[in-house]
Every structure is written in structure tokens, then in C-alpha cells.
């Protein structure tokens, strides 16, 4: 049975310029001086629930057992959306019930879900617009320091949780597959919606082969399948297995995003033959 390890890892869309993140950290340390705070990121785009869900999904799994994840991207603050605590196999997730916690918690294996409603654990007065400071931060600090989860409120049926789909997606047609762009990172690397291994097996190609990439318009771009982008020549477009085992397009020492002119959720067709 896991125990809290004293870490609270925070993800928000509050940026690093305003007083919001500092206020949350102050509250956490005031509630329990022993908490160790780790920033996941505060640069989620304003209100971008998908990006929040994806970043938590991708990063949570590396943290020690017993970490409390505190995620606040919360356009519905003050409305009827619930505040929740999800207890998963190895972790605790705290935030609004708008789907941002669900993909990570499902990946780890959800055990219980609680509604956060016992206001004895809140900071008073509770504002209408900053539950990150007044509800989520103090409850996260208490859970990290040993409060039993059931004390925060009644259990919620796991099937009632809001969810955001971070699903594997691949459509096959003739000698091509269609994939979605699921994330673009700082380097302009374009992460695609299925495992690299499945993509190349479906296309019946292998490392060393070329494939043909259609990302909208009439352009067809040739991409080399390599083990990693650094094996390509500068400015080569590379298809490879990224650090989450997904198919990813990158340009060695350049930006695949710029080359392909794509954005999140765009479709990309990859074919064995170019016509």
C-alpha cells in the first residue's frame, strides 16, 4: 500500500509572471512545512485542457510513488464543476473535474475518486475565482503530509469523472496511414497519435527506409525512418520512435512544425510510396 512521499508536483496555466503560483506555494508550505514542491509547468496555454491533460499524462509516471499531483487549469472555477481527489495505484491527483487529471490517473490505474467538499481543510475565506489557492493547494498539502483521502469528502463513481481523450488513433488506407498531431514541443518535433512500432509495421517499412508525408496542400515530403533524429543529415525530415514510444516527425537541427506547417490535432498522412 502506497504512502504519500511528501512531494506536491504542480501544473497550471498561471504563467510565471503573476502572483498566483507563489500564493499557492505559500499556502502549501504554510499548511505543511515539510512538503517538497516540484513545478511540472505553469505555461499551459490559457484554458487549454487538452495540453494540461497531455502534459500530466506524459510526466506523472516518472515521479516517486506517493507523489501528489496538483493540476489547476480551471476555466470553470466558481461554477458547478466539482473539485476532486483521485487516488490511483501509485499516486494522488487533485484538481477540477474537467478531465485534466483523468488520462494520467487512468494510465496509473484509478482506485478511488473523492469529491473535495469538506471545507475544514480549505483556506478561508474561499474566493470564487482562485480555488487553486483556497481549495486545491491546502488539500494537496494535507494529503502529501498524511491526511487520509476519504476525509476530503464523499466517494464519486469513477464512471462520472470527466475525461479528455488522449487516445491512440491510426487509420489505414491502401499503403498509407492517417495519424493526428497530438503534441508539438519546443523544438518543433511533431508527436503523432500511434506507437512508432505499429506505424512502421502497418506500413510494412523499417528503419532505413523512406516514407512520404502529406500534411495538407499538395506538398509531399520525403522522410527517412531512423532510430533517432541525430542520425539524419541537418535539415532532413526524420520519422522515429520518441521517448514515449510514439511515432514522431523531427528535422535534425531544425523544426518539423515549421517545415510541415502543422498544428495540434491536424491530420498527417504517411505513405509507403510517393506518387
The binding site for a second copy (CB under 8 A) comprises 5, 7, 9, 13-27, 29-30, 33, 36-44, 46-47, 55, 58-64, 67, 75-79, 127-130, 133-134, 185-187, 227-231, 240-243, 252-253
Beta bridge partners of 11: 41, 71
Based on CB atoms, which residue is closest to a second copy, 44 or 100?
44
Based on CB atoms, which residue is closest to a second copy, 91 or 214?
91
Based on CB atoms, which residue is closest to a second copy, 42 or 180?
42
Asked if residues 37 and 68 have their Cβ atoms less than 8 Å apart, the reply is: no
Based on CB atoms, which residue is closest to a second copy, 178 or 254?
254
- Sign, Cα dihedral of 8, 10, 16, 20: negative
Closest CB 135 distance from a second copy, rounded Å: 12
Closest CB 220 distance from a second copy, rounded Å: 25
Closest CB 97 distance from a second copy, rounded Å: 14
Closest CB 264 distance from a second copy, rounded Å: 13
DSSP character for 238? E
Chain centroid to CA 216: 26
Closest CB 274 distance from a second copy, rounded Å: 26
| Three-state secondary structure call for residue 79 | coil
Contacts of 97 (CB under 8 A, 6+ apart): 81, 82, 83, 84, 161, 162
Cα three-residue angle 89-182-237, rounded to 5 degrees: 125
Based on CB atoms, which residue is closest to a second copy, 159 or 243?
243
What φ, ψ does residue 62 adopt, rounded to 5°?
-90, -10
Closest CB 143 distance from a second copy, rounded Å: 17
Based on CB atoms, which residue is closest to a second copy, 114 or 229?
229
- For 271, half-sphere exposure in the C-beta direction (CA atoms, 13 angstrom radius) is 13
Amino acid at each position: 500500500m502506497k504512502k504519500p512521499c511528501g512531494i506536491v508536483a504542480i501544473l497550471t496555466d498561471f504563467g510565471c509572471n503573476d502572483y498566483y503560483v507563489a500564493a499557492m506555494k505559500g499556502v502549501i508550505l504554510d499548511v505543511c512545512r515539510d512538503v517538497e514542491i516540484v513545478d511540472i509547468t505553469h505555461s499551459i496555454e490559457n484554458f487549454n485542457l487538452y495540453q494540461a491533460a497531455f502534459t500530466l499524462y506524459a510526466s506523472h509516471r516518472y515521479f516517486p510513488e506517493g507523489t501528489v499531483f496538483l493540476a489547476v487549469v480551471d476555466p470553470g472555477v466558481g461554477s458547478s464543476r466539482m473539485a476532486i481527489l483521485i487516488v490511483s495505484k501509485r499516486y494522488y491527483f487533485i484538481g477540477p473535474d474537467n478531465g485534466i487529471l483523468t488520462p494520467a490517473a487512468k494510465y496509473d490505474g484509478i482506485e478511488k475518486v473523492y469529491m473535495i467538499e469538506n471545507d475544514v481543510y480549505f483556506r478561508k475565506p474561499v474566493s470564487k475565482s482562485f480555488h487553486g489557492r483556497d481549495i486545491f493547494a491546502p488539500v494537496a498539502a494535507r494529503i502529501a503530509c498524511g491526511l487520509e483521502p476519504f476525509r476530503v469528502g464523499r466517494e464519486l463513481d469513477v464512471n462520472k469523472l470527466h475525461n479528455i481523450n488522449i487516445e491512440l488513433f491510426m487509420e489505414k488506407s491502401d499503403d498509407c496511414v492517417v495519424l493526428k498531431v497530438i503534441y508539438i514541443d519546443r523544438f518543433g518535433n511533431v508527436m503523432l497519435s500511434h506507437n512508432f512500432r505499429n506505424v512502421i509495421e502497418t506500413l510494412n517499412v523499417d528503419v532505413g527506409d523512406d516514407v512520404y508525408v502529406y500534411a495538407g496542400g499538395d506538398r509531399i515530403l520525403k522522410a527517412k525512418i531512423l532510430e533517432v533524429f541525430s542520425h539524419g543529415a541537418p535539415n532532413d525530415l526524420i520519422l522515429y520512435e520518441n521517448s514515449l514510444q510514439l511515432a514522431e516527425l523531427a528535422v535534425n537541427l531544425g523544426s518539423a512544425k515549421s517545415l510541415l506547417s502543422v498544428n495540434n490535432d491536424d491530420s498527417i498522412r504517411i505513405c509507403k510510396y510517393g506518387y
